[in-house]
Amino acid sequence: MRSEIPRLVPRRAKDAVKGRERRPPEALFDVCWREGELALLFGEPGSGKSVLAVQIAESLARGEPLMQNGASMQNAECTMHNLRSKRQKKRMKTLYIDLVLSEKQFRERYAEYKFDGNLYRETPFDGEDLFEFVAEMVARWGFRAVIIDDLSLVSRTADGTQEALALMHALRQMTVDRNVSVLVLADTYPFVYENQSPERGLRRSRVLCGVADSVFALYDGQVIQTRSRSGEKVWTEKNKLRYRIEELDDGMLGVVLEPPEIDDETLEQIVEIKRMHDRGGKTFRQIAAEIEISKSQAQRLYSQWTSEIEASVTETRKQEARQRAHQAKLDAWVASGGKITYDYKKQQWVKAENGPRFLNRRRR
Protein backbone atom coordinates (compact mmCIF):
# COMPACT_ATOMS: atom_id res chain seq x y z
CA MET A 1 0.00 0.00 0.00
CA ARG A 2 2.82 2.45 0.89
CA SER A 3 4.38 1.91 -2.57
CA GLU A 4 1.25 3.38 -4.15
CA ILE A 5 1.67 6.69 -2.33
CA PRO A 6 3.62 9.15 -4.53
CA ARG A 7 6.67 10.52 -2.79
CA LEU A 8 7.54 14.21 -2.86
CA VAL A 9 10.93 15.19 -4.27
CA PRO A 10 12.94 16.63 -1.40
CA ARG A 11 14.34 20.13 -1.91
CA ARG A 12 17.99 20.91 -1.39
CA ALA A 13 18.69 23.46 1.33
CA LYS A 14 20.74 25.58 -1.07
CA ASP A 15 17.77 25.78 -3.44
CA ALA A 16 15.55 27.04 -0.63
CA VAL A 17 18.09 29.76 0.17
CA LYS A 18 18.31 30.81 -3.48
CA GLY A 19 14.56 31.16 -3.62
CA ARG A 20 14.33 33.58 -0.73
CA GLU A 21 13.20 37.17 -1.22
CA ARG A 22 16.07 39.54 -1.82
CA ARG A 23 14.21 42.48 -0.28
CA PRO A 24 14.27 42.27 3.51
CA PRO A 25 10.89 42.67 5.25
CA GLU A 26 10.01 46.22 6.23
CA ALA A 27 9.99 47.23 9.86
CA LEU A 28 6.41 47.94 10.94
CA PHE A 29 7.38 48.80 14.50
CA ASP A 30 11.16 48.84 14.47
CA VAL A 31 12.63 45.37 15.17
CA CYS A 32 9.61 44.35 17.26
CA TRP A 33 7.25 43.69 14.32
CA ARG A 34 8.24 43.17 10.70
CA GLU A 35 6.27 42.78 7.49
CA GLY A 36 4.70 39.34 7.11
CA GLU A 37 5.12 38.44 10.79
CA LEU A 38 2.75 37.42 13.55
CA ALA A 39 3.76 39.48 16.57
CA LEU A 40 2.51 39.33 20.16
CA LEU A 41 2.43 42.42 22.40
CA PHE A 42 1.61 41.80 26.05
CA GLY A 43 1.55 43.75 29.27
CA GLU A 44 -0.48 44.42 32.38
CA PRO A 45 -3.87 46.17 32.04
CA GLY A 46 -3.31 49.92 31.93
CA SER A 47 0.27 49.67 30.66
CA GLY A 48 -0.64 51.42 27.39
CA LYS A 49 -0.86 48.49 24.95
CA SER A 50 -3.99 49.80 23.21
CA VAL A 51 -2.58 53.32 23.00
CA LEU A 52 0.59 52.05 21.36
CA ALA A 53 -1.32 49.66 19.07
CA VAL A 54 -3.56 52.45 17.71
CA GLN A 55 -0.48 54.60 17.21
CA ILE A 56 1.27 51.81 15.28
CA ALA A 57 -1.86 51.25 13.16
CA GLU A 58 -2.04 54.94 12.29
CA SER A 59 1.66 55.04 11.38
CA LEU A 60 1.18 52.10 8.98
CA ALA A 61 -1.89 53.71 7.41
CA ARG A 62 -0.01 56.95 6.82
CA GLY A 63 3.22 55.26 5.71
CA GLU A 64 5.14 57.20 8.34
CA PRO A 65 7.35 55.02 10.55
CA LEU A 66 6.67 55.30 14.25
CA MET A 67 10.24 54.21 14.82
CA GLN A 68 12.70 52.95 12.26
CA ASN A 69 15.72 50.72 12.89
CA GLY A 70 16.09 51.70 16.49
CA ALA A 71 18.99 54.05 16.77
CA SER A 72 18.07 56.34 13.91
CA MET A 73 15.95 57.96 16.61
CA GLN A 74 18.65 57.97 19.27
CA ASN A 75 19.20 61.05 21.41
CA ALA A 76 15.65 62.27 20.72
CA GLU A 77 12.17 61.58 21.95
CA CYS A 78 10.17 59.73 19.31
CA THR A 79 6.54 59.96 18.38
CA MET A 80 4.94 59.23 15.07
CA HIS A 81 4.19 62.93 14.68
CA ASN A 82 7.76 64.24 14.85
CA LEU A 83 9.05 61.70 12.34
CA ARG A 84 7.32 62.98 9.22
CA SER A 85 10.64 64.21 7.86
CA LYS A 86 11.97 60.65 8.01
CA ARG A 87 11.88 58.19 5.11
CA GLN A 88 8.35 57.43 3.94
CA LYS A 89 7.26 53.80 3.79
CA LYS A 90 4.52 52.46 1.58
CA ARG A 91 1.07 53.09 3.04
CA MET A 92 -0.67 49.97 4.29
CA LYS A 93 -4.40 49.38 4.40
CA THR A 94 -4.74 48.54 8.08
CA LEU A 95 -7.54 46.94 10.10
CA TYR A 96 -7.77 47.58 13.85
CA ILE A 97 -10.06 45.03 15.52
CA ASP A 98 -11.12 46.60 18.81
CA LEU A 99 -12.44 44.12 21.36
CA VAL A 100 -11.79 46.43 24.32
CA LEU A 101 -13.30 49.88 23.77
CA SER A 102 -16.86 50.57 22.69
CA GLU A 103 -17.36 52.97 19.81
CA LYS A 104 -18.35 55.69 22.27
CA GLN A 105 -15.23 55.13 24.40
CA PHE A 106 -12.99 55.14 21.34
CA ARG A 107 -14.60 58.35 20.09
CA GLU A 108 -14.11 60.06 23.45
CA ARG A 109 -10.45 59.00 23.64
CA TYR A 110 -9.58 60.30 20.15
CA ALA A 111 -12.13 63.10 19.75
CA GLU A 112 -9.43 65.67 19.00
CA TYR A 113 -7.51 63.59 16.46
CA LYS A 114 -8.17 63.08 12.74
CA PHE A 115 -7.25 59.56 11.60
CA ASP A 116 -5.94 58.68 8.17
CA GLY A 117 -8.52 57.25 5.77
CA ASN A 118 -6.37 54.16 5.28
CA LEU A 119 -7.03 52.95 8.85
CA TYR A 120 -10.22 50.97 9.57
CA ARG A 121 -11.69 50.01 12.94
CA GLU A 122 -14.14 47.13 13.26
CA THR A 123 -15.57 44.72 15.83
CA PRO A 124 -17.07 41.28 15.07
CA PHE A 125 -20.63 40.49 16.14
CA ASP A 126 -21.20 38.70 19.45
CA GLY A 127 -20.55 34.99 19.01
CA GLU A 128 -18.88 35.44 15.61
CA ASP A 129 -15.70 33.40 15.11
CA LEU A 130 -12.82 35.85 15.29
CA PHE A 131 -10.52 34.11 12.84
CA GLU A 132 -13.26 33.72 10.25
CA PHE A 133 -14.03 37.42 10.69
CA VAL A 134 -10.37 38.35 10.15
CA ALA A 135 -9.97 36.01 7.17
CA GLU A 136 -13.09 37.40 5.47
CA MET A 137 -11.99 41.00 6.03
CA VAL A 138 -8.55 40.32 4.58
CA ALA A 139 -9.88 38.38 1.58
CA ARG A 140 -12.68 40.80 0.78
CA TRP A 141 -11.08 44.18 1.49
CA GLY A 142 -7.38 43.51 0.97
CA PHE A 143 -6.01 44.57 4.35
CA ARG A 144 -2.21 44.21 4.57
CA ALA A 145 -1.91 44.65 8.33
CA VAL A 146 -4.26 43.53 11.11
CA ILE A 147 -4.11 44.42 14.80
CA ILE A 148 -6.27 42.51 17.31
CA ASP A 149 -6.89 44.18 20.67
CA ASP A 150 -6.95 41.89 22.58
CA LEU A 151 -6.86 38.12 23.26
CA SER A 152 -8.27 38.39 26.77
CA LEU A 153 -11.78 38.79 25.34
CA VAL A 154 -11.44 36.01 22.77
CA SER A 155 -11.72 33.06 25.14
CA ARG A 156 -15.06 31.43 25.77
CA THR A 157 -13.74 28.69 28.03
CA ALA A 158 -12.77 28.96 31.69
CA ASP A 159 -9.05 29.07 30.92
CA GLY A 160 -9.12 29.97 27.25
CA THR A 161 -5.49 29.07 26.55
CA GLN A 162 -6.38 26.26 24.15
CA GLU A 163 -8.75 28.46 22.16
CA ALA A 164 -6.27 31.33 22.03
CA LEU A 165 -3.51 28.94 20.93
CA ALA A 166 -5.64 27.62 18.05
CA LEU A 167 -6.35 31.21 16.98
CA MET A 168 -2.63 32.08 17.03
CA HIS A 169 -1.78 29.05 14.88
CA ALA A 170 -4.49 30.01 12.36
CA LEU A 171 -3.29 33.63 12.24
CA ARG A 172 0.30 32.57 11.71
CA GLN A 173 -0.74 30.36 8.80
CA MET A 174 -2.61 33.31 7.33
CA THR A 175 0.55 35.45 7.44
CA VAL A 176 2.27 32.75 5.37
CA ASP A 177 -0.56 32.14 2.90
CA ARG A 178 -1.57 35.77 2.30
CA ASN A 179 1.57 37.67 3.39
CA VAL A 180 -0.51 39.64 5.89
CA SER A 181 1.13 41.18 8.96
CA VAL A 182 -0.69 40.54 12.25
CA LEU A 183 -0.17 42.03 15.70
CA VAL A 184 -2.04 40.49 18.65
CA LEU A 185 -2.35 42.06 22.10
CA ALA A 186 -2.68 40.12 25.35
CA ASP A 187 -3.06 41.03 29.01
CA THR A 188 -0.78 39.63 31.70
CA TYR A 189 -1.31 39.18 35.39
CA PRO A 190 0.45 41.64 37.71
CA PHE A 191 4.13 40.75 37.60
CA VAL A 192 5.55 39.88 41.01
CA TYR A 193 8.74 37.98 40.16
CA GLU A 194 12.02 39.85 40.23
CA ASN A 195 14.89 39.03 37.86
CA GLN A 196 12.60 36.85 35.73
CA SER A 197 11.28 37.20 32.19
CA PRO A 198 8.17 39.39 31.87
CA GLU A 199 6.61 36.42 30.07
CA ARG A 200 6.04 34.92 33.52
CA GLY A 201 3.06 37.26 33.80
CA LEU A 202 1.31 35.38 30.98
CA ARG A 203 1.26 32.22 33.13
CA ARG A 204 -0.34 29.38 31.15
CA SER A 205 -0.80 31.66 28.14
CA ARG A 206 2.97 31.83 27.85
CA VAL A 207 2.67 29.00 25.33
CA LEU A 208 1.35 31.57 22.85
CA CYS A 209 4.84 33.09 22.64
CA GLY A 210 6.12 29.96 20.93
CA VAL A 211 3.75 30.50 17.99
CA ALA A 212 4.56 34.16 17.34
CA ASP A 213 7.44 35.29 15.13
CA SER A 214 8.15 38.18 17.47
CA VAL A 215 7.18 38.89 21.08
CA PHE A 216 7.55 42.17 22.96
CA ALA A 217 6.10 43.65 26.12
CA LEU A 218 5.29 46.92 27.84
CA TYR A 219 6.84 46.34 31.23
CA ASP A 220 8.02 48.67 33.98
CA GLY A 221 7.88 51.75 31.76
CA GLN A 222 9.85 50.25 28.90
CA VAL A 223 9.44 48.25 25.69
CA ILE A 224 11.21 44.90 26.03
CA GLN A 225 11.73 42.25 23.36
CA THR A 226 11.50 38.72 24.67
CA ARG A 227 11.63 36.71 21.41
CA SER A 228 12.50 37.23 17.75
CA ARG A 229 12.78 34.63 15.00
CA SER A 230 14.12 37.02 12.37
CA GLY A 231 17.09 38.52 14.18
CA GLU A 232 18.76 39.44 17.41
CA LYS A 233 16.87 41.20 20.19
CA VAL A 234 17.71 44.89 20.39
CA TRP A 235 15.52 46.37 23.12
CA THR A 236 16.57 44.49 26.26
CA GLU A 237 17.28 45.23 29.92
CA LYS A 238 20.78 46.33 28.86
CA ASN A 239 19.45 48.58 26.08
CA LYS A 240 16.26 50.05 27.47
CA LEU A 241 13.63 51.68 25.29
CA ARG A 242 11.70 53.84 27.74
CA TYR A 243 8.22 55.18 27.07
CA ARG A 244 5.55 57.40 28.57
CA ILE A 245 1.95 58.12 27.62
CA GLU A 246 0.67 61.63 27.04
CA GLU A 247 -1.61 63.67 24.79
CA LEU A 248 0.39 64.79 21.77
CA ASP A 249 0.27 68.19 20.12
CA ASP A 250 -2.17 67.09 17.40
CA GLY A 251 -4.69 65.73 19.92
CA MET A 252 -3.76 62.05 19.81
CA LEU A 253 -3.22 60.11 23.00
CA GLY A 254 0.09 58.46 22.23
CA VAL A 255 3.29 56.88 23.42
CA VAL A 256 6.50 58.91 23.51
CA LEU A 257 9.56 56.69 23.09
CA GLU A 258 12.90 57.52 24.68
CA PRO A 259 15.70 55.38 23.21
CA PRO A 260 19.01 55.26 25.11
CA GLU A 261 21.86 57.43 23.94
CA ILE A 262 24.52 55.83 21.76
CA ASP A 263 28.00 55.89 23.25
CA ASP A 264 30.88 57.46 21.31
CA GLU A 265 32.47 54.10 20.47
CA THR A 266 29.25 52.83 18.86
CA LEU A 267 28.85 56.07 16.91
CA GLU A 268 32.34 55.57 15.52
CA GLN A 269 31.43 52.01 14.55
CA ILE A 270 28.29 53.14 12.75
CA VAL A 271 30.19 55.66 10.62
CA GLU A 272 33.03 53.22 9.92
CA ILE A 273 30.65 50.44 8.84
CA LYS A 274 28.85 52.90 6.56
CA ARG A 275 32.18 53.85 4.96
CA MET A 276 33.36 50.24 4.59
CA HIS A 277 30.10 49.14 2.99
CA ASP A 278 29.25 52.09 0.74
CA ARG A 279 32.70 53.29 -0.25
CA GLY A 280 34.76 50.18 0.32
CA GLY A 281 32.24 47.82 -1.26
CA LYS A 282 32.61 45.25 1.51
CA THR A 283 29.85 42.84 2.47
CA PHE A 284 28.41 42.79 5.98
CA ARG A 285 30.03 39.40 6.50
CA GLN A 286 33.45 40.83 5.63
CA ILE A 287 32.88 43.88 7.82
CA ALA A 288 31.77 41.72 10.75
CA ALA A 289 34.89 39.56 10.48
CA GLU A 290 37.16 42.60 10.28
CA ILE A 291 35.82 44.46 13.32
CA GLU A 292 34.91 41.26 15.22
CA ILE A 293 31.15 41.58 15.60
CA SER A 294 28.25 39.47 14.29
CA LYS A 295 26.89 39.97 10.78
CA SER A 296 23.44 40.88 12.11
CA GLN A 297 24.98 43.49 14.41
CA ALA A 298 26.91 44.97 11.50
CA GLN A 299 23.65 45.24 9.52
CA ARG A 300 21.83 46.79 12.46
CA LEU A 301 24.56 49.38 13.06
CA TYR A 302 24.63 50.20 9.35
CA SER A 303 20.86 50.82 9.40
CA GLN A 304 21.30 53.29 12.28
CA TRP A 305 23.43 55.70 10.22
CA THR A 306 22.11 59.23 9.79
CA SER A 307 23.70 62.40 8.45
CA GLU A 308 23.49 63.84 11.97
CA ILE A 309 25.57 60.95 13.36
CA GLU A 310 28.09 61.38 10.52
CA ALA A 311 28.41 65.10 11.25
CA SER A 312 28.78 64.50 15.00
CA VAL A 313 31.53 61.92 14.55
CA THR A 314 33.32 64.13 12.01
CA GLU A 315 33.29 67.08 14.40
CA THR A 316 34.53 64.90 17.27
CA ARG A 317 37.40 63.65 15.13
CA LYS A 318 38.34 67.24 14.22
CA GLN A 319 38.36 68.27 17.87
CA GLU A 320 40.53 65.29 18.80
CA ALA A 321 42.93 66.14 15.95
CA ARG A 322 43.19 69.74 17.19
CA GLN A 323 43.85 68.52 20.74
CA ARG A 324 46.61 66.18 19.55
CA ALA A 325 48.22 68.96 17.53
CA HIS A 326 48.03 71.32 20.52
CA GLN A 327 49.56 68.68 22.81
CA ALA A 328 52.36 68.05 20.31
CA LYS A 329 53.25 71.75 20.33
CA LEU A 330 53.28 71.79 24.15
CA ASP A 331 55.53 68.73 24.22
CA ALA A 332 57.97 70.41 21.86
CA TRP A 333 57.81 73.62 23.92
CA VAL A 334 58.57 71.80 27.19
CA ALA A 335 61.36 69.79 25.54
CA SER A 336 63.02 73.06 24.52
CA GLY A 337 62.94 74.35 28.10
CA GLY A 338 59.67 76.26 27.98
CA LYS A 339 57.08 76.39 30.76
CA ILE A 340 53.31 75.79 30.65
CA THR A 341 50.33 76.91 32.71
CA TYR A 342 46.66 76.00 32.86
CA ASP A 343 44.25 78.47 31.23
CA TYR A 344 40.94 78.14 33.09
CA LYS A 345 39.04 80.10 30.45
CA LYS A 346 40.18 77.81 27.63
CA GLN A 347 40.10 74.75 29.93
CA GLN A 348 43.50 73.57 28.69
CA TRP A 349 47.26 73.84 29.20
CA VAL A 350 49.02 76.63 27.29
CA LYS A 351 52.54 78.01 26.84
CA ALA A 352 53.85 80.25 29.62
CA GLU A 353 56.42 82.84 28.55
CA ASN A 354 57.58 83.91 32.05
CA GLY A 355 56.55 84.61 35.66
CA PRO A 356 57.06 82.75 38.98
CA ARG A 357 53.47 81.47 39.06
CA PHE A 358 53.96 79.28 36.00
CA LEU A 359 54.37 75.57 36.53
CA ASN A 360 57.04 73.65 34.71
CA ARG A 361 55.01 70.48 34.42
CA ARG A 362 52.77 68.78 31.92
CA ARG A 363 49.09 68.02 32.25
CA ARG A 364 48.52 64.56 33.62
Full domain range(s) for residue 340: 307-352
Looking at the DSSP bridge assignments, the partners of residue 341 are 350
Whether 243 and 284 share a structural domain: no
Whether 83 and 172 share a structural domain: yes
271: number of CA atoms within 13 Å, CB side?
17
The CATH number assigned to the domain holding 75 equals 3.40.50.300
Structural domains in the chain (count) = 3
Residue 35 lies in a domain: yes
Whether 196 and 316 share a structural domain: no
Residue 5 lies in a domain: no
Whether 86 and 185 share a structural domain: yes
Res 21: pLDDT:
52
Whether 156 and 289 share a structural domain: no
Res 192: pLDDT:
45
Output the CA–CA distances (angstroms, integers) from residue 66 to 62, 234, 250, 318, in the order listed: 10, 16, 15, 34
Whether 224 and 275 share a structural domain: no
Output the CA–CA distances (angstroms, integers) from residue 287 to 22, 69, 348, in the order listed: 20, 19, 38
Contact 214, 39 (CB under 8 A): yes
Whether 315 and 167 share a structural domain: no
Whether 70 and 211 share a structural domain: yes
What count of other Cβ atoms lies within 10 Å of the Cβ of residue 238? 7
Res 240: pLDDT:
83
Residue 221 lies in a domain: yes
Looking at the DSSP bridge assignments, the partners of residue 78 are 257
Contact 176, 211 (CB under 8 A): no
Residue 52 lies in a domain: yes
Residue 101 lies in a domain: yes
Residue 363 lies in a domain: no
Whether 213 and 278 share a structural domain: no
What is the pLDDT tens value at each position of the chain, 364 positions in all?
A: 455 666 677 878 877 666 555 566 888 998 899 999 999 999 888 999 999 999 999 999 999 878 654 433 443 444 333 333 345 578 999 999 999 999 999 999 999 899 999 999 999 998 889 999 999 999 999 999 999 998 877 755 545 678 889 999 999 999 999 999 999 999 886 654 455 567 766 666 788 888 999 999 998 899 999 999 987 788 887 788 999 999 988 889 999 998 877 788 888 999 999 999 999 999 989 999 998 888 878 887 887 788 888 998 999 889 999 989 989 988 888 888 888 888 888 888 888 865 444 444 444 4
Whether 35 and 150 share a structural domain: yes
Res 20: pLDDT:
54
Looking at the DSSP bridge assignments, the partners of residue 351 are 340
CA pseudo-torsion sign 285, 291, 292, 296? negative
Whether 347 and 218 share a structural domain: no
Residue 20 lies in a domain: no
Last residue of some domain: 243, 258, 273?
258
Whether 71 and 211 share a structural domain: yes
Total-model pTM: 0.72
Residue 364 lies in a domain: no
196, amino acid identity: Q
